[in-house]
Amino acid sequence: MNLLSRLKLRGGVHPVGRKELSAEAPICALPLPERLFISLQQHIGAPASATVSVGDKVLKGQLIAGSQGMISAPVHAATSGRVVAVGDYPAPHPSGLPVPTITIEADGDDRWLDFDPPADPMALSPEEIATRVGAAGIVGLGGAAFPSAVKLNLSRKSGVTTLIMNGGECEPYLTCDDRLMRDHPGAVIAGILLIQRAVAAPQVLVGIEDNKPEAIAAMRAAAAGTGVQIVPVPSMYPMGSEKQLIQALTGKEIPAGGRAADIGVLVHNVGTAYAVHEALAFGRPLVRRIVTVSGGAVTVPRNLEVLIGTPAQALFDFCGGYKDVPARLVMGGPMMGQEMTNPNVPVIKGTSGVLALTNQEIGRPSPAPCIRCSTCVRACPVGLLPLEMAAHIRIGDLGAAVDLGLKDCIACGSCSYVCPAHIPLVHYFNYAKGDLSAKERAKLKQEATKKLAEARNERMDRIARDRAEAARLRAVKKAAQEAAKKAAAEAKSQATEVAA
């Protein structure tokens, strides 16, 4: 199966891994920072809404912001202390724009709220598991941060034949999932079994890139007898992408515009499984995660257990600071991560790594003309023509780029990585996607406005018609009354005449 699936996968690149920087550093906990900046928009979907106010005392794990709407996730206090601010704080986003954030001043006790975990989480019903996962604020920890409970509920309804656990970790530098699988394989497997129960999946495959033999061995030992299969997959970027991992493990493709559930597959990250286990076995909501601190500029790269809301700078400081001038700070991996323009932005649920990269590592020569070498075409895991798409976007012909498959682009960055002309291809595609969605929104808005205007016109017409009708009826009535009166008067006078 492995050879066959290898033949089926297309494209991909082999970036310099640099995982050796941090792969041998066991997970250790970052000391409690003084303040935590807990963002209310850490997930895909509607931001959570604060349920505490300034001055409130909170305990670790206490709900501080509730989920809003269908796709959203609650947020919990990551340590015990006092709420000192509820307001805007810079988000880990290239724009550096502020988002609603709750600031907690740690009291140093780091005292958990008292939980009453179920005696046997595996005895819970699938619905109950999903509910608890949702209440624990668990989102996809691979980076996308999609609320996990939403995925569980949708998948349970549509039916899942294969649950795939993503232990690919194909991004260079990142070793947080690797370390998690090596250091806590039992908890990860326990979490996987809970997810399996939640969606009633008959088959569970854990895909791990074959550059992590220790993780594969540890997970195999922990999975023995559970029915969970550990499957090594070739080390290739973007193996950790949902679409590519599904294809590598099952040979199936998600239909364009569809979801994994359409082919009976559900994909979760191994870090998410660990969080699910924490939430169900101990009642602990998602308030901490493993973060890889690495990059050529970091003195001692390591894997840290970090409270959500910890400023990135604290992580670098704990790793001995910088040994070299960092040319760029990145949150996430180097292929798809985002630049941190402000080192004090907080760690969020989706933060897999914080990197301090040197000039030599990022390599930023100026773009040259495209020589149509089609290295990007060979690298694209989706089967797109990046050079053609970029050429069309360059001249503003977004429609042609869409025809070439722009919307199928997964923004993995493989094309930009290999381009000998150093053309920022992904940048072009993201720009075009942003422009298109803005246009779509504008169009929807315009349509909505038009509809409203039409409805108003119709309403006004109707009102006018009703008024006219009422006036006419009144007139008719009045005329009838007058006629009756007149008739009556005439009758009366006639009667009088007759009487006279």
Sites of contact with other proteins (CB under 8 A)? 10, 13, 15-16, 94, 159, 161, 172, 243, 247, 253-258, 262-264, 328, 330, 334-339, 341, 355, 357, 361-365, 368-375, 377-378, 380-385, 387-388, 405, 408, 411, 413, 416-418, 420-422, 424, 426-427, 430
Tell me how far, at minimum, the Cβ of 285 lies from other proteins, in Å.
Answer: 30
Cβ-based nearer residue to other proteins, 57 or 407 = 407
Tell me how far, at minimum, the Cβ of 256 lies from other proteins, in Å.
Answer: 4
Tell me how far, at minimum, the Cβ of 110 lies from other proteins, in Å.
Answer: 34
Tell me how far, at minimum, the Cβ of 175 lies from other proteins, in Å.
Answer: 16
SS3 375: helix
Closest CA to 379 of 337, 335, 334, 338: 335
Cβ-based nearer residue to other proteins, 194 or 335 = 335
Cβ-based nearer residue to other proteins, 320 or 363 = 363
Cβ-based nearer residue to other proteins, 66 or 234 = 234
Indicate the helix (H) or strand (E) that contains 99.
Answer: strand 98-106
Torsion of CA 344, 350, 355, 357, to 10 degrees: -100
Tell me how far, at minimum, the Cβ of 182 lies from other proteins, in Å.
Answer: 25
DSSP 33: P
Residue type, 61: G
Q: CA-based Rg of the chain, rounded to a whole angstrom?
A: 31
| 8 A C-beta contact, residue 35 and residue 104 | yes
DSSP 309: T
Cβ-based nearer residue to other proteins, 253 or 469 = 253
Q: What angle do CA 185, 135, 309 make, to 5 degrees?
A: 75
Cβ-based nearer residue to other proteins, 32 or 418 = 418
Cβ-based nearer residue to other proteins, 71 or 377 = 377
- Going by their DSSP bridges, the two strands 49-50 and 35-39 should be labelled as unpaired
Tell me how far, at minimum, the Cβ of 288 lies from other proteins, in Å.
Answer: 26
Burial class, 359, CB count within 10 angstroms (exposed 0-12 / middle 13-18 / buried 19+): middle
Closest CA to 312 of 350, 353, 357: 353
Tell me how far, at minimum, the Cβ of 44 lies from other proteins, in Å.
Answer: 18
CA torsion sign, 262 to 265 to 271 to 274? positive
DSSP 124: S
Tell me how far, at minimum, the Cβ of 413 lies from other proteins, in Å.
Answer: 4
Q: What angle do CA 20, 26, 32 make, to 5 degrees?
A: 120
Cβ-based nearer residue to other proteins, 278 or 388 = 388
Closest CA to 351 of 273, 416, 286: 286
Tell me which residue has tokens 């089967």. Answer: 383
Cβ-based nearer residue to other proteins, 18 or 182 = 18
Tell me how far, at minimum, the Cβ of 417 lies from other proteins, in Å.
Answer: 5
Alpha carbons 336 and 233: distance in angstroms, whole number: 21
Tell me how far, at minimum, the Cβ of 461 lies from other proteins, in Å.
Answer: 43
Cβ-based nearer residue to other proteins, 38 or 423 = 423
Tell me how far, at minimum, the Cβ of 259 lies from other proteins, in Å.
Answer: 10
Tell me how far, at minimum, the Cβ of 347 lies from other proteins, in Å.
Answer: 18
Q: Kindly write down the DSSP assignment for every residue of 35-74, as one continuous string.
A: EEEEES--SSSBPPEE---TT-EE-BT-EEEE--SSSB--
Alpha carbons 259 and 262: distance in angstroms, whole number: 5
Cβ-based nearer residue to other proteins, 46 or 154 = 154
| 8 A C-beta contact, residue 327 and residue 359 | yes
Closest CA to 226 of 122, 118, 120, 139: 122
Cβ-based nearer residue to other proteins, 83 or 409 = 409
Q: Name the H helices within 283-407.
A: 312-318, 359-362, 375-379, 386-394, 398-403
Alpha carbons 292 and 176: distance in angstroms, whole number: 5
Number of other residues whose CB lies within 10 A of the CB of residue 343: 16
